[in-house]
Amino acid sequence: MKRGRIAYNGAILDVTETPGEAVRLADGRVVAEGAFTWLPPVEVGTVFALGLNYADHARELAFKAPETPLVFLKGPNTIVGHKARTRRPDGVAYMHYECELAVVIGKKGFQIAKENAFDHVAGYTVANDYAIRDYLENYYRPNLRVKNRDGCTPLGPWLIDRDDVSNPLALKLTTRINGVTTQSGTTADMIFDIPTLIAYLSSFMTLNPGDVILTGTPEGLADTKPGDVIETEIENICRLVNTIVDDATYFASTN
């Protein structure tokens, strides 16, 4: 099943998918696109993000693939929903998307064995974790400005139940800028797969329902400009759409 969350008539509501862009409320009513605001499909807890978790992406950046997972944390201010806007600050030279499979934890666990890892997964969604290369100290230690800017990580629109995805380790990832494909890859190229990441993280801390693991992005990054519409899609999961805006447009809508 595909599950989502929206803001509608002053309330936060759980929804399910209908044909087209409409959504169905728990009471059966159908709400048309444009009448609601998309929210992330889960109430997000701790967000773990992987750096250089695809060998082709590491080569693209001229870095050696890591021998242990490179993980950093993201604050709740970073997460926005489907159809949201993301700000490209004035004066930056290069800001790129990162299409990522997001793994949502559904069952609390500590020191989880790899063979039991999927038992702790609620489902999957799509993330687009934008990065500004100008701000990077280096690719092994992403600094706060790169990965913790307000609204820099759209998530959603749907959470797909774990059992509805037969093989999350062989999914095609695609990014389009204004309808033109710029990135194509597969989750089969992850350096550290989902069971490995869950076992690693839970080896030193408890994972809780709502925690999200962003599993990295393959090669094929490209600069984004204000006005660009970015689609990040993972087969059998969902398609996430987001628009890049400049400072003036962003702050006019938030003030």
Same structural domain for residues 19 and 116? no
Tell me, what's the pLDDT at 140?
A: 58
Same structural domain for residues 1 and 79? no
Its domain, for residue 7, covers 1-39
Q: What is the mean pLDDT of each run of 10 residues along the chain (255 residues)?
A: 96 93 93 96 96 72 73 94 97 96 98 98 98 77 80 97 96 98 95 97 98 95 97 97 97 81
Tell me, what's the pLDDT at 4?
A: 97
Number of domains, the chain: 2
Tell me, what's the pLDDT at 183?
A: 96
Q: How far apart are CA 30 and CA 96, in angstroms?
A: 35
Same structural domain for residues 68 and 1? no
- pLDDT per residue as tens digits for the range 100-141: 999 999 999 999 999 999 999 999 999 999 999 888 766 555
Q: How far apart are CA 27 and CA 49, in angstroms?
A: 36
Tell me, what's the pLDDT at 59?
A: 61
Same structural domain for residues 62 and 167? yes
Tell me, what's the pLDDT at 51?
A: 85
Tell me, what's the pLDDT at 142?
A: 63
- pLDDT per residue as tens digits for the range 8-39: 999 999 999 998 889 999 999 999 999 999 99
Same structural domain for residues 139 and 32? no
Tell me, what's the pLDDT at 135?
A: 86
Same structural domain for residues 151 and 170? yes
Query: What CATH number has the domain bearing residue 16?
Result: 2.30.30.370
Query: What CATH number has the domain bearing residue 236?
Result: 3.90.850.10
Query: In the chain, what is the straight-line distance between the N-terminal and C-terminal CA atoms, in Å?
Result: 37
Same structural domain for residues 58 and 30? no
Same structural domain for residues 70 and 11? no
Q: How far apart are CA 155 and CA 168, in angstroms?
A: 17
